[in-house]
Structure 1
Amino acid sequence: MHTMNKLLLTVLLTYLGHSVAFGGQIINGKKAKRNSLQYMASVQNDEKHNCGGFLITPDFVLTAAHCNTSNLSVVLGTHNIKKGLGKAVRYNVERTCKPNSYENVKDGSDIMLLKLSREAKLSKSVNKVRLPTKDKVLKPKTKCLAAGWGLTKTGAIVDDLQVVDLEAIDLKVCQKQWDHVDLKLPPNVICAGGYMTDKGTCQGDSGGPLVCNGEAVGIVSFNMKRNCAYPNVPNVYTQISKYLPWIKKVINKQSC
């Protein structure tokens, strides 16, 4: 039976494309309150929503490296991405910066800085989120939240920003669960949601933050492809604290 299950998993993973999908839509969350999560950004391609992101300085947005496409822009100050800009503001992306170590999602380093063409004006609807000040381990069961636009279940798209409460998952447990589907986790990641729970993120809107105790500690990176019917393997986030020196260097130089 174990051999047959292994064979079925291999066939499934071949179909799913090595089991990973770009993650980020919110499963079993709720609509975010107006003027909450003021750091959230809609990272857009040709003025259409592509990924999430979050403001960390007036002129830099953090997102996932795999969200890099042509004609990028960022919209800040909105909760509904279909109602037009209204009081929200669109910013052109002057420069994209990724670590030299980034090759693809499965290899890790799924983090990218977007240099805005001008500084964002902070207000009651636009503000920065704090980052960790040092590299530290996220303790299992730490209460966190994730936010994003899009799928609330497989195939169901919404336009309003959604938020969901999650708990951090022990990295060893996370690694073991991903080992079961023959994927070795990349380095410098953390896990939360999508396992032993009915809450998590799903494909289509990566780059949003995992926020714990008021700090953005992770970036939505990937989950099990095309399957938002949790429980599932844990959702995987890039661990921001591992990249603090790189982030500071880019911001200080205003260049990659």
Structure 2
Amino acid sequence: MTLGEIIGGWEAKPHSRPYMAYLDIRDGKNKSFCGGFLVSENFVLTAAHCNGSKITVYLGAHNIRLREWSQQKISVHRPIPHQQYDNKTLNNDIMLLQLAKKAKLNGDVGTIALPRANEIVKPGNWCSVAGWGRTSTESESTPARLREVNVMVMPDAKCPKDPYGPYNNYNSSTMMCVGDPNQCKDSSQGDSGGPLVCGETAQGIVSWGPCRGPGVYTRVSTFIPWIRATMRRLQP
């Protein structure tokens, strides 16, 4: 199961996605990374499977291997995975990260809008996804610079719940089916937690999927009440 890499994409224009976050995740001796996106000065939204014992967020990054002057490095004060997240089916794969301090919003660091509760993106719409994940299914190496690709929202039937197929755990109320299987363009390892951007809105979160698309994204609009309530409860 791949979890987030930009395949068939291109390098993003530097800082054209000021909401993008790079998550450096430590869990004991294990190191991993994910994407995420800034939804308010002190909250980043990502996938629940991107949790760890210590998470550091980098905002304003383009080349993640350089100490760019635009970068803001902020530790996570508290990760809040959805209480019904299931790590076997990856249902409810969504997590808020409360930052230890507020991000400084500027031309390189900004928030992205969230959809209205239960808003539906119709199949056939083009959206985009970005991340620092692998650029091919063959290669283990990851790019230093942010990459992006355009993907099409597919009907739920393209992620069929066949008990022997890769989409057996697909849940249309909490997930979106995205990316044409005939085109090798998708997100994969390392892009997990990044946003699916439709228009100016973060409609999905990179979650899971088989090697050849479509990919499965968390449907953000389903979780708007949870996001709003959680952020309200924790606002200082």
TM-score, length-scaled by structure 1: 0.84
Equivalent positions of 1:29-40 (< 5 A) are 29-40=9-20
Equivalent positions of 1:94-109 (< 5 A) are 94-104=77-87, 106-109=89-92
Local SS of the residue matching 1:247: helix
Q: Does the 8 Å contact 2:186/2:213 carry over to 1?
A: no
Q: Give the alignment partner of residue 184 of structure 1, picking from 158, 169, 177.
A: 169
2:218 aligned partner? 238
Q: Does the 8 Å contact 1:178/1:185 carry over to 2?
A: no
Cα deviation 1:206-244 (Å, max 9, x = unaligned) = 1000000110000000011xx3xxxx2410000000000
1-structure distance, mates of 2:42, 2:68: 19
2:193 aligned partner? 207
Instruction: Quote the offset at 1:183 in angstroms.
Output: 2.2
Q: Does residue 174 of structure 1 match 2:159?
A: yes
Q: Does residue 159 of structure 1 match 2:139?
A: no
Tell me how many residue pairs correspond in the alignment.
229
2-structure distance, mates of 1:178, 1:131: 33
Unaligned runs of 5+ in 1: 1-19
1-structure distance, mates of 2:218, 2:166: 20
Unaligned runs of 5+ in 2: none
Equivalent positions of 1:88-167 (< 5 A) are 88-104=71-87, 106-154=89-137, 155=139, 156-167=141-152
TM-score, length-scaled by structure 2: 0.90
Distance 1:162 1:105, change over 3 A: farther
Cα deviation 1:4-30 (Å, max 9, x = unaligned) = xxxxxxxxxxxxxxxx33x22100111
2:207 aligned partner? 221
- Aligned-pair identity (%): 38
2-structure distance, mates of 1:216, 1:209: 6
4+ long deviations beyond 6 Å: none
2-structure distance, mates of 1:115, 1:61: 7
Q: How well do the aligned residues superpose, as a CA RMSD in angstroms? A: 2.0
Find the structure with the greater CA-based Rg: 1
Of 237-246 and 184-193, more deviation after overlay is shown by 184-193
Distance 1:152 1:252, change over 3 A: same
Instruction: Quote the offset at 1:84 in angstroms.
Output: 2.1
Cα deviation 1:98-136 (Å, max 9, x = unaligned) = 121112151400000000011111111000000002212
Distance 1:196 1:177, change over 3 A: farther
Q: Does the 8 Å contact 1:95/1:114 carry over to 2?
A: yes
1-structure distance, mates of 2:57, 2:88: 22
